[in-house]
Each structure stands twice: as C-alpha cells, then as structure tokens.
Structure 1
Amino acid sequence: ISPLLKEMDSKSVEELSCPVCCEIFKDPVLLSCSHSFCKECLQQFWKTRDTQECPVCRRRSSKDLRSSGSEEICSLHSEKLKLFCLEDKQPVCLVCRDSEKHVNHTFRPISEVLLSHKHTERQIKEEFEKLHQFLRDEEEATITALREEEEQKQQMMKEKLEEMNRHISALSHTIKDTEEMMKASDACFLKVTTEFSFIVCAQNNLPITQTMIKLLICIEGNLL
C-alpha cells in the first residue's frame, strides 16, 4: 500500500468528506456559507426542512443547488466567489481578499483548488481500492487454507476408518476360523483359544504378558 494514506493528515480527509454522510464528496455542492455537501445528501436534508438551510451552520440558502464547479455569490459582498483562502479554508470574493479580515492570507483560484482536491480524491479512492483488493485477497487465501486443512483432516479420518475396517475384517475371519475349530476336540479348542489371544494382541498392538506365555506353555504341555 502506498504511503500516501499514512502521510495524509485527518484535516485533509475531513475537507474531502461530506458532513452529512461522512463519505468522500459525490457531486459536491458549495453553499454561500462556504460549507460543501454531496448534492444528493443536501437534497435529502432539505426535503425534511421547511426552509433551505445549511445542515452545519443553519444559514438559509435561497439559491438553487449548483455543483462546486459553478460560481457562487459571496453572502457578504454579493460578488462572485473566485478565490480560495488557504488560511481560512473557504472561498472568498475579490472584496474579501482585500479586506482586513484576510490580511497576509494566501489565495488560490477556486478552479485550481478544486482540481487539486479532485486529484487528491482520486488518489484516495485508488488507495482505498488497493486496500479493499488486499483484504479480498487475504479473505480468499484464508478460506482456501481452511478448506485445504479441512480436506486434509477428512482424508486422515478416511484413512483411519479404512485401517479400522481392515482390522475388523481380519478379526472377523479369525473369529470365524475359531468358531469352526471350536467344533473340534477340547484340546484343539484350548490351543486355538491361546493362539487367538496372540493374534488379537498382535493385530491391536497389545502387549503379550508373561501370564499369557505361561498359559500357552501349560496348554501345550497338556496337549503333548
């Protein structure tokens, strides 16, 4: 992200923001009281009022809405507002410029100031768009990572279930074979029972105890 947003002070941002919607000006309108608004915001505000007044200072305005690029009339001297006072941050007429109130002040043509503000507004919009795109990319990357993690977990669970099914299948075959052997003689049954215990331990990673080994030796001795 460009350092432009970091370097821009809050006052400059406020000058480009509508006091009603607090957003960057859209089709800005400049009233005779020197306050500016979005044209639509001002129209909506006036619909709720009996008189056309400024939403900020409440000064009445008898003029039709004009864009900030149109010439306005000074409320003090009834002269066209052609200059912009950089110290007071407001448009002034030629009489205002020469008055005592604006002694040693710096002035610029309104058209020049508007052009500069529009350029700054365009830069801000570009930076905001870059920021929004960055956030959209981050959101998409996060969602993708979460999906991949979920897929990995599902794959691990699937492999675990398959392994468990293989164990269950092997045990089922062992049980079936044991049931067949149980129908044989008692000695054979005891031998098969012991072997089955070892198979179960091996398939389930269970420890073969000394007691089980002694039991097998005892059974084998009886079978001989």
Structure 2
Amino acid sequence: MEGLCKELSCPVCLELFTPPVLELPCSHNYCRQCIHETLISQNCTHVNGKFCCPVCRKVICLRGRGITGLKRNIFVENVLEKVKEEMAKIQEREHNVKSQTCRIHEEVLNLMCLDDDIPICSICKLFGDHNTHEVARLSEVYQGRKNSFIEEITRIVLKSETAARVSQELEKLQDQLLSTAEETKAMINAVGDSLLMEIRFKVSSLKMKVDKESAEKCNELQSALEDLQRSRRLYMKMKSLLEEHINPIQFLKEDKQLKIEVAKLFKDDRPLPVPKRDNISVGQYIEELIKGIDIKQVAISKADDLLVKVGDEYAAWSSSCSNVDMSSYDGLDQMIRKMMSSLTLKSSDANNSLSWECPSPYSTSGSSEESYSPEEVKVITIEKTSL
C-alpha cells in the first residue's frame, strides 16, 4: 500500500493527488492546483504559453486553451478513490483493534474486573492493580449482560406498547377537550351578543377563564403523554446500542449508563394515567354569564329566539335541581347543546359580534380579541409546558 501511495502522489506537493488530476503530454500527472502554481512560478500566464514539466523538464505547449486544454486522468482518479477507501478501512480496523487492547500493557482485553466493572488484560490481573480483584472471562460477562439487556428491552417493549395505547386515548381526549372549549366560547359569544352592553366585560372575562381551564387541563394531558413516552425513548437508545455496537468493549462502556436509566424507569412505580373525560361545562359558564339577569325582561323582542330559549332551558334546569354540584351541570350541558344543534346561526352573526372584547391572556398584540383554533391552543399548551 505504501508503494501504491507513492505512485499516486503529486511530484510537486508530495501528497496524494487532489482531483482533478491532469496528465501532461510527457505522461506525468499532477494536481490541477499544483499545475496552476507551476505556471505562475514559470511566468506562463498566456493561453498559448509554454512551461517545463517539473519532473522531466520537457517543454509543454498550452495550444491556445490554457490549463483547461490539458488531459484529465480519470483512471488515476478512480484508483486514488479506491486507495482512499482501503486506507479508511485499514484505519478503522486498527482503531477497532486498539480499542480492544490494554493501554498499559498493550495486551488483548480478555478479562472483566468485577470489582471495578472494567475490561482488563491478563497482565493487569497477574501483576497490575487488579491482582487482588475478582475477575471473569470478558466473553462470558459480555454474553450474560447482553442477554440481560435483551430481557430489559423486551420488558420496555411491553411497557411502551401499553403506553402507546393510553397515549392515543389521551390524545383523543385532548382533541375533544379543545373542541369543547371552542364550542363553549362560541356559545358565550352568541349569548353575549344578545345581552345588553353592560355585560361586555363579563363575556370576555369568561372566555379568558375558558382558555385558562382548557390550557390547564391540556397541560395535565401533555404531562401525562410525556411520562408515557419516556420508555419509548429509552427503548430506542437501547435498541440502537444493541444493533450498532462495534465490539464488546463499546457495548460494556455504554450499557452502564443505560442500565441506570432503566433502573430509574422501573423505580418509578406510578400507575399509568387512566384516560377520563374531563370536558368544560358549557352550562356552568352560561349560568355565570346570565347570573342576576332577568332573561324575560332583557329579551324584549320575541325575535331573539336564542336568548329566549337559553332562558327557558336554564329555568327548567334550575327548577329541577335541588342540590347543584359539578355533576348536575351535565344535564344543563346536554340541554344547551341539543338546543344549539337545532338552531341555524346565520353567517352574518360573525360580522355583528361584539368588538369590545378584552384581549385574550395568550394574545401578544394587546389589541382586539384573538380567536385560537384547537391546533393553536395545543401549541400554546405545549410551549407553556416546555417553559
């Protein structure tokens, strides 16, 4: 290989050729950059100039095309590429052998010191710092730990599969929660537009409260999702080490930290979160919105069908509930949603909505109200979680 590298070296820079390689009419090869510097050193700057070959001193004519007229030696470039590939393989093999050799005694690492948990050579055991330590064959320790590693991966796979199923349910609940938040804000807008101007700040404050409740609940779901994904990330790291480690030494060096992470994972014996429906109550916010207002006196015009129906539904619900708690709002929520599904809201309602809303707590402009889509609320939630 050394002789071949010498043949593939440039006579000017004395290094391996740097492509493109140019062949002179005298059959000597040079790097293009070296030929360029040779032309400058010999004051050959014209396209029809002449210069001497640095090896044989033969006069070379450029023939009107300058350095671009010289022949490119593709064969030498191909051989050079193959030589570089072989040299890289040789260096990799040497590095692999070196990594399995004792740095002190330059002997093969064939034992495992069980006291210090590091690979050692036979001389380290006989005459070195480990002569009083308990040792075992490196191959046996490697095989045993590898088998244990595989068993741990299997356990993590089972745990991650369960976590994946729960994650899907949590994500579905999260989407439903965001959708319910948007429905609630739409309902608050519709009722708020029908009420007198003195309730304007109450409408906007309730919307901010919905955003806050939605964000808090989404943060809880997001936190649960991140906990469930810990095992999946650890599984990928362990799988990568198992499939891609070059030699036992590398495996034994890296498996120590991963085993610490596995121990932490299984030390956390908290049960997986159980998905549960935790929607936002439309009825609870509507009750707070119309609290202290006589709907029948406010809705003077019988054409205001929405306000009249909301008042009737709320009156029917409140008269039937002796004890009001969070579960009792489910009936009111169903009544209001059923009523809303039967109403056809005109497209012009959006243009006639109140313009005096307070800014959302998630707004950066501080001007008029900003509405957020479910995807935007999810992004806000994730950003708050990361902070």
The TM-score range, normalised by the shorter chain, is 0.3 to 0.5
Ranked by relative contact order (alpha carbons within 8 Å, sequence separation 6 or more), the top structure is 2
TM-score between the two structures when normalised by the length of structure 1: 0.36
